Amino acid sequence: MNLVIDVGNSFVKIAVFQGDKLIDLLKVKNIEVLKSLRAVRKKYKNMEKAIFSSVGKLRKTDINYLEKYYDTLLLNHETRVPFTNLYSTPKTLGIDRIALVSASVQQFPDKNVLIIDAGTCITFDFITNNNEYLGGAISPGIRMRYKALHHFTANLPLLVTKEPKNIVGDTTAASMHSGVVEGVLLEIDGAIQEYKLKYPDLTIILTGGDANFLSKQLKSSIFANSNFLLEGLNFILQYNTH
């Protein structure tokens, strides 16, 4: 069994894997991590290895607990990964993106894959069928766009994410929903079509907190998997222990 921890911008995900299979998952706030780790250790007594990636910050007490009870791997830019990184500035590549690309290598070997992570930011990551990571794109996520409209204007409200009923908004709120959600959908579908012009056999993965919300609205054929990053972290841990 492996313990996999993903420290995001908003929440911390604590996952337990049996081989490649996800068997337990907790989504907690940063202040709840230590309590949750203790509960997981009590429930799964035979776990020996752990990995964590931190886009946000994991407290020192949490890290100390992990290192005390598990053979712990911190994913960073020195970690051995199962692909060739051709990013021009490899040390600036987000570790969450490294995990996503690793998951694609495991699950879609020898394929041209575009991974779209719709979370706080929307990231696009492309790896070729020759196992070469080329890069991608980063843009504001759905919640960031709603917050920007509210923060940088005098009169626009902060809205809760909602699927627009029509592309033509007939109220200010409806117009904002159309602008944000339809804008994201058109951006994603447009990016996919651009990639397909060069790589017609493209495999597309959609993951992240907004994956389920977006997947039913996208025109393109995709694989939606909200746990893709966790699976990538688990694979990196396995890759570094063999």
DSSP state of 24: E
Q: Are residues 212 and 102 in the same domain?
A: yes
127 vs 241, residue with greater confidence: 127
3-state SS assignment for residue 57: coil
Encoded tokens for 141: 């996520």
Q: Are residues 94 and 25 in the same domain?
A: no
Task: Write down the mean pLDDT value for the chain.
Answer: 94
Q: Are residues 138 and 212 in the same domain?
A: yes
pLDDT surpassing 80 at residue 157: yes
- The string of pLDDT tens digits covering residues 179-213 is 999 999 999 999 999 999 999 999 999 999 999 99
- The string of pLDDT tens digits covering residues 41-95 is 999 998 999 999 886 678 889 999 999 999 999 999 999 999 999 999 999 999 9
- The string of pLDDT tens digits covering residues 125-151 is 999 999 999 999 999 999 999 999 999
pLDDT surpassing 80 at residue 242: no
> By the 8 A CB rule, do 15 and 4 touch?
yes
Q: How confident is the model at residue 153, as a pLDDT? A: 96
Is residue 96 among the annotated active site residues?
yes
Q: Are residues 94 and 60 in the same domain?
A: no
Q: Are residues 121 and 202 in the same domain?
A: yes
Which residue is catalytic, options 6, 62, 96, 117? 96
CATH of the domain at 110: 3.30.420.40
3-state SS assignment for residue 7: strand
* Distance of alpha carbon 187 from alpha carbon 169, whole angstroms: 19
DSSP state of 77: T
pLDDT surpassing 90 at residue 219: no
Q: How many domains does the chain have?
A: 2
Q: Are residues 103 and 195 in the same domain?
A: yes
Tell me the residue type at 151.
Answer: H
Q: Are residues 113 and 220 in the same domain?
A: yes
Beta strands in the chain (DSSP E): 2-7, 12-18, 21-28, 49-54, 71-74, 84-85, 113-118, 121-127, 132-140, 203-207, 223-224
Domain coverage including residue 215: 84-233
- pTM equals 0.92
Q: How confident is the model at residue 84, as a pLDDT? A: 96
5 vs 59, residue with greater confidence: 5
Helix axis angle, 60-69 to 33-43, nearest 10°: 20
pLDDT surpassing 90 at residue 11: no
Average pLDDT over residues 161-167: 94
Residue 25 pLDDT level (bands cut at 50, 70, 90): very high
Q: How confident is the model at residue 10, as a pLDDT? A: 77
